[in-house]
Amino acid sequence: MLNIVFSEKFISQFESFDLKTQKLTQKKIDIFKANPKHSSLKTHKPGGALANYFSFSVDYKTRIVFEYGKKDTVHFLKIGSHDVYK
């Protein structure tokens, strides 16, 4: 299973969400840990300034931006609307 490391920015952004979105986010993170390429996540490489990172969908408007680290470590960098791509 993957080891997830959360950035301070990610934690701050996550804590700003309502409880419903936080619970859905946790569910999607659990799916990600089991299978990062699960079809419900729509995992992809964003373009532009984040071309070296990856992203997956929590819901229609919420995305998580991440990067792979060493071994089985993944760093969750940001969470939010499409604005996280900027």
Enter the pTM of the model: 0.92
Quick one: average pLDDT of 40-55? Answer: 93
For residues 82 and 61, give the distance between their C-alpha atoms in angstroms, rounded to a whole number.
7
Q: Is the pLDDT of residue 66 over 70?
A: yes
Domains with residue ranges and CATH for the chain: 3-81 (3.30.2310.20)
How much is the pLDDT for 85? Answer: 65
For residues 46 and 49, give the distance between their C-alpha atoms in angstroms, rounded to a whole number.
8
